[in-house]
Amino acid sequence: MVFGLEGGAGFATVADMTASEQLFARAQARIPGGVNSPVRAFRAVGRAPFYTASAEGCRLHTEEGTELVDYVLAWGPAIFGHNDPDIRTAVQNAAAAGLGFGTTHAAEVRMAEMLCENVPSVEKVRMTNSGTEATMSAIRLARGHTGRKKIIKFAGCFHGHVDALLVKAGSGALTFGHPDSAGVNPGAAADTLVLPYNDTAALDAAFAADAAAAGQAAPDIAAVILEPYPGNVGLLFPEAGFLAHLRERCTRNGTLLIFDEVMTGFRLSPQGTMGLHTVRPDLVCLGKIIGGGLPVGAFGGRADIMDKLAPLGPVYQSGTFCGHPVTLAAGLAALEKLRRKNPYPALERAGKRIATAVREAAQRKGVALQVHQCGSMFTLFFNANPVRNLADVLGSDGALFGSVFRYALDHGVFLPPSPFESAFISAAHDDAAITQTEEVLAAAIAAL
pLDDT for residue 86 is more than 60: yes
User: Do 130 and 269 fall into the same domain?
Assistant: yes
Domain-embedded: residue 432: yes
User: Do 238 and 190 fall into the same domain?
Assistant: yes
Q: Which residues pair with 238 in a beta bridge?
A: none
| 424-to-74, 105, 184, 198, 307 alpha-carbon distances in Å | 9, 33, 31, 23, 35
User: Do 76 and 185 fall into the same domain?
Assistant: no
pLDDT for residue 290 is more than 70: yes
User: Do 231 and 270 fall into the same domain?
Assistant: yes
- Whether 291 contacts 331, CB under 8 Å: yes
pTM value is: 0.93
User: Do 400 and 300 fall into the same domain?
Assistant: no
User: Do 178 and 323 fall into the same domain?
Assistant: yes
Coil vs helix vs strand at 76: coil
Backbone Cα Rg of the chain: 22
CATH number where 210 lies: 3.40.640.10
pLDDT given for residue 6 in this prediction: 42
Tens digits of residue pLDDT in 11-37: 446 668 999 999 999 999 999 999 999
Domain-embedded: residue 179: yes
DSSP letter string over 107-146? HHHHHHHHHHHHSTT-SEEEEESSHHHHHHHHHHHHHHHH
Domain-embedded: residue 425: yes
Tens digits of residue pLDDT in 267-287: 999 999 999 999 999 999 999
Tens digits of residue pLDDT in 308-344: 999 999 999 999 999 999 999 999 999 999 999 999 9
Domain-embedded: residue 251: yes
Q: Could you give the CA distance from residue 290 to residue 334 in angstroms, rounded to a whole number?
A: 7
pLDDT given for residue 165 in this prediction: 73
Q: Which residues pair with 257 in a beta bridge?
A: 224
pLDDT given for residue 169 in this prediction: 52
Percentage of the residues of the chain whose pLDDT score is greater than 90: 84
Q: How many residues are listed for the chain in this entry? A: 448
Domain-embedded: residue 232: yes
Q: Could you give the CA distance from residue 370 to residue 160 in angstroms, rounded to a whole number?
A: 27
pLDDT category of residue 9 using cuts at 50, 70 and 90: very low
Pairing of strands 221-226, 150-154: parallel
Burial code of 17-38, b = ≥16 C-beta within 10 A, e = fewer? bbebbbbbbebbeeeeebbeeb
Domain-embedded: residue 327: yes
Of 315, 340, 365, the one marking the end of a domain is 340
pLDDT given for residue 172 in this prediction: 46
pLDDT given for residue 161 in this prediction: 79
Give me the amino acid identity at 133.
E
CATH number where 401 lies: 3.90.1150.10
Q: Could you give the CA distance from residue 165 to residue 152 in angstroms, rounded to a whole number?
A: 9
pLDDT given for residue 14 in this prediction: 67
pLDDT given for residue 179 in this prediction: 39
User: Do 165 and 299 fall into the same domain?
Assistant: yes
Tens digits of residue pLDDT in 134-186: 999 999 999 999 999 999 999 989 898 776 676 655 444 433 333 356 666 66
User: Do 216 and 277 fall into the same domain?
Assistant: yes
Q: Could you give the CA distance from residue 198 to residue 415 in angstroms, rounded to a whole number?
A: 27
Of 287, 307, 340, the one marking the end of a domain is 340
7, 66, 57: which is closest to 413 by C-alpha?
66
Of 295, 321, 340, the one marking the end of a domain is 340
Domain-embedded: residue 17: no
User: Do 105 and 199 fall into the same domain?
Assistant: yes
User: Do 334 and 348 fall into the same domain?
Assistant: no
DSSP letter string over 334-394? HHHHHHHH--HHHHHHHHHHHHHHHHHHHHHHT---EEEEETTEEEEE--SS---SHHHHH
Tens digits of residue pLDDT in 358-404: 999 999 999 999 999 999 999 999 999 999 999 999 999 999 999 99
Domain-embedded: residue 71: yes
Residue 45 DSSP symbol: G
pLDDT given for residue 185 in this prediction: 66
Question: By residue range, what is the domain housing residue 117?
Answer: 85-340
Instruction: Provide the domain count of the chain.
Output: 2
Q: What is the mean pLDDT of the chain?
A: 91
Coil vs helix vs strand at 59: strand
User: Do 41 and 110 fall into the same domain?
Assistant: no
pLDDT given for residue 170 in this prediction: 47
Q: Could you give the CA distance from residue 387 to residue 410 in angstroms, rounded to a whole number?
A: 28
pLDDT given for residue 106 in this prediction: 97
User: Do 333 and 351 fall into the same domain?
Assistant: no
Secondary structure element (H or E) that encloses residue 398, with its range = helix 398-410
Q: Could you give the CA distance from residue 259 to residue 276 in angstroms, rounded to a whole number?
A: 14
